[in-house]
Every structure is written in C-alpha cells, then in structure tokens.
C-alpha cells in the first residue's frame, strides 16, 4: 500500500512545484508547520481588486506528500477566492478524516492524495500549503480594508 501512496503521479507533483520562492512585496504571508514531521510552507500572495489571488509564491519544505499537495495548489491557485480555498481545505479534511471524495473544481487535483487518509501521521504535512495559503489570503484581505472583510466571515 505504501507504494501506491507514493505513486508516479504523487512523485511527479512533488517534483514540480509551481510558483516556488517568495514574492518581493506580498499583501499577505502565511506560514504553517506540521509539528509531527516538521514539514513547512510559507506562502505569499497578492490579491486583485476582487480579492482573488493575482500573485502567489510558495516556499515549501515537506515530504513528497506535502510537496505534491503544494504542487496541485500552485497549478490551480491563481484566480482563486478565499471561499474556494477554504472549500478545498474543508473537502481535503473530509477526504482525509471522514471518507469524503475530496475537492472539486479548480482543486480537484488534490484528490490524487486520497490514499493519504490511511496514514494519519501524514495528514498535517499534506495540509501545510493550503492552510498557509488561507492564512496569507486572510491577511491580505484584512489589509485591503473593510470592503473585503465580509469575505472573511464566510470562510473562517
């Protein structure tokens, strides 16, 4: 089963990390660390006038599963709203912990990590990039002012 977990698809996603690095002047930054294994993601974002991600960069130091999740995120995150990212996070949690199908829409690629559900010690690593992205977007929205704060309430 461990061979299935580290499939060619997972390893390919892990090796290709879109938007790797940091933004020079982000509107928001999020950082998450998985305490059990030390996997870490730092995410920088800038938002457009509608509060959607216009620029994204990620510095991820994680196992292959965390890197794979970050790879899918990096492929799909430009143009995403806080609500879309929060929905994907919630669907990931349901997939890992409660037998859910996983995210759909722009983040459906995260379903490739469905087998991680059988390895609870790997859940946190798989989630660091998406959680850091949520933190970064929330920070950016808070800095943009009261016009966008209503978006914060629905995706907390």
Q: pLDDT tens-digit profile of 27-83?
A: 999 999 999 889 999 999 999 999 999 999 999 999 888 999 999 999 999 999 999
Give kind and range of the element (H or E) at residue 14: helix 8-15
Q: Is 95 exposed, middle or buried (0-12, 13-18, 19+ CB in 10 A)?
A: buried
Its pTM stands at 0.88
Contact 44, 135 (CB under 8 A): no
């Amino acid at each position: 089963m461990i061979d299935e977990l580290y499939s060619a698809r997972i390893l390919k996603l892990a090796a290709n990390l879109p938007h790797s690095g940091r933004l020079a002047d982000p509107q928001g930054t999020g950082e998450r660390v998985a305490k059990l294994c030390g996997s870490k993601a730092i995410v920088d974002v800038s938002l457009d006038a509608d509060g959607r991600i216009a620029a994204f960069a990620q510095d991820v130091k994680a196992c292959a599963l965390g890197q794979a999740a970050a790879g899918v995120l990096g492929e799909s995150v430009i143009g995403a709203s806080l609500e879309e990212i929060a929905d994907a996070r919630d669907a990931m949690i349901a997939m890992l912990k409660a037998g859910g199908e996983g995210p759909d829409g722009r983040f459906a690629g995260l379903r490739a990590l469905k087998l991680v559900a059988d390895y609870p010690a790997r859940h946190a690593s798989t989630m660091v990039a998406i959680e850091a992205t949520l933190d970064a977007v929330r920070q950016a929205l808070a800095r943009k002012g009261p016009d966008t704060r209503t978006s914060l309430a629905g995706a907390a």
